[in-house]
Amino acid sequence: MHYYIWTLGCQMNTADSQLLASELEKHGHHATENWEDADIWVINTCVVRQSAEDKAYGRLYQLHALKQRDPSRIIGLMGCLVGVRDPLRLRQKLPFVDVFMPPSDPRPLLTFLADRGAEAEALAADAVARAHRDALQDEDDIASGDLVLPVHERNSLVSAHVPVVYGCSFACTYCIIPFRRGVERSRPVGEIVAHVRSLARQGVREITLLGQIVDRYGKDIPDGPDLSDLLHIVHDVAEEEGVARIRFLTSHPNWMTDRLLDTVAALPRVMPHIEVPNQAGDDEVLARMKRGYTAEDYRRLIARIRERIPGVAIHTDIIVGFPGETEAQFQRTYDLLAELRLDKAHIAKYSPRPGTVSARRMIDDVPPEEKERRRKALDDLQSQIVAEINARSLGATVPVLFEDRHRDKWRGRTPQNKLVFVESDRDLRGRVEDVQITWTGPWSMQGRLLSDVLATASGDTITLAVTR
Ligand code: SAH
């Protein structure tokens, strides 16, 4: 059968969809680029804000209408809309959905298809049914960590995500993720290593380790490794297998130890790039968010990261319009961002989420227009800051890992994760090349391959010699 997956939300969902695609293909199904042609439709959902949830429902109701015309289509719902508990209420609300899959768990769909396969086998003993039955016997594969990339990504995907901590046991008052992704569970080292190794052998050149609070890796394993140990282990694998770059996200300020920062600085394949959300610059708001640090703590953390990791790029997340956020409190967030001059800020408008403490006990009292005004003010500030930071790279030479072509240019990233576009007729996919930066803006840069610059320069010399 043919499948099509819509992936909404975060990098963890991207990784989850990749695992699902891998499993489906292992069981004899194929991807299609045209979703209308697919027999199996899967929506991998996000509910972090109401807007994300609305997107999932919009797609779902569209598919429902189509399924009414053709009931043989299979609809699978995956991810944070489903959650880790039995989605009984969702089943009742959405009876046309055939399969519900919790985050990171493709097995319900595989079982569903296997059951169908068994039925078909009884009727026709066809090859697909036999493939399903055989595949059921190697169910343990998922747990081993080995991942066979889906065909369209095999030997072409450059950058991949590897979950290392599932779930979250922290309790930020605004956040629904712990309710939907379950308690924090670190993945065993062996599984992570197998995952990284298998990706590398299929051409992947950059690995990003994922966790809701990735710097808590290993805290739930007695005497287990921490993130710093894990980075050393993954770095060894990267050296053996030719993985050029390692990143990790998202960090929480309270677990960013000096040891971790020094590890990032010491390991050449771990990139100088830290994602550590601030959320707010006002202490009272931070306390009501239950983030566990003050603005001054965050300020000191940024200084410490910069001191220990030369040339580091720091990304943050901010929420504007949290319940009760006054103009003065918002201004403190604005001032902190203006002071810290970070490399990127994801700015979100507060959205009350069912079941969270802030939705149950606090009033969403900042009007939508005011949230939008605050969001835009921070966005404007931040793009000005990033434009200035990026302008400093003009004329510099930076190593860029190229990922793919975008229109007529190659697209890649610097160690600081900044986007760079370059014109070249060569196949640059998966290569790290020195690039001279010729133009910079807030969202991307353009440059020329240093090898081209040098070739032109030596060409000039020859011309000069001839004319003389
Ligand atoms: N676990 C990570 C990421 C959580 S979700 C962390 O600790 O940051 C990604 C971002 O979405 C968060 O950093 C936060 O800025 C935003 N977010 C989470 N819940 C939200 C809500 N209810 N309303 C608006 N933004 C939210």
49 CB within 6 A, ligand 1: yes
Domain borders along the chain are 397-467
Nearest atom, ligand 1, residue 250 CA: 2
| Integer angstrom CA distances of residue 11 from 186, 212, 253, 439, 462 | 17, 10, 20, 29, 50
Nearest atom, ligand 1, residue 346 CA: 15
Structure tokens, 460: 């000039």
316 CB within 6 A, ligand 1: no
CA of 107 to the centre of ligand 1 (A): 27
pTM equals 0.94
CA of 325 to the centre of ligand 1 (A): 17
Nearest atom, ligand 1, residue 317 CA: 15
What is the pLDDT at residue 385?
Answer: 98
250 CB within 6 A, ligand 1: yes
Structure tokens, 371: 């949230």
CA of 146 to the centre of ligand 1 (A): 30
CA of 387 to the centre of ligand 1 (A): 25
48 CB within 6 A, ligand 1: yes
Contacts 24+ apart (CB under 8 A), 89-96: 94/60, 96/64, 96/67, 96/68
Nearest residue to 81 (alpha-carbon basis) of 93, 96, 65 = 93
β-pair partners for 186: 165
Nearest atom, ligand 1, residue 359 CA: 22
156 residue type, one letter: S
- Name the residue of 183, 289, 319, 366 whose CB sits within 8 Å of the most ligand 1 atoms, as the mutation to test its pocket: 319
What is the pLDDT at residue 174?
Answer: 98
β-pair partners for 78: 44, 101
146 CB within 6 A, ligand 1: no
What is the pLDDT at residue 142?
Answer: 75
How big is the chain, counted in residues? 468
CA of 447 to the centre of ligand 1 (A): 34
Nearest residue to 93 (alpha-carbon basis) of 37, 53, 36 = 53
Q: How far apart are alpha carbons 248 and 161 in whole angstroms?
A: 9
CATH no. of 397-467: 2.40.50.140
Which residue, by CA, sits nearest to atom 19 of ligand 1? 175
What is the pLDDT at residue 400?
Answer: 98
User: What is the dihedral sign for C-alpha 56, 57, 62, 64?
Assistant: positive
Cis peptide before 294 (omega within 30 of 0): no
Q: How far apart are alpha carbons 423 and 414 in whole angstroms?
A: 16
CA of 106 to the centre of ligand 1 (A): 25
Would you write out the chain's pLDDT as a tens digit for each of its 468 residues? 999 999 999 999 999 999 999 999 999 999 999 999 999 999 999 999 999 999 999 999 999 999 999 999 999 999 999 999 989 999 999 999 999 999 999 999 999 999 988 666 555 555 555 555 555 555 556 778 999 999 999 999 999 999 999 999 999 999 999 999 999 999 999 999 999 999 999 999 999 999 999 999 999 999 889 999 999 999 999 999 999 999 999 999 999 999 999 999 999 999 999 999 999 999 999 999 999 999 999 999 999 999 999 999 999 999 999 999 999 999 999 999 999 999 999 999 999 999 999 999 999 999 999 999 999 999 999 999 999 999 999 999 999 999 999 999 999 999 999 999 999 999 999 999 999 999 999 999 999 999 998 888 776 655 444 433
What is the pLDDT at residue 429?
Answer: 98
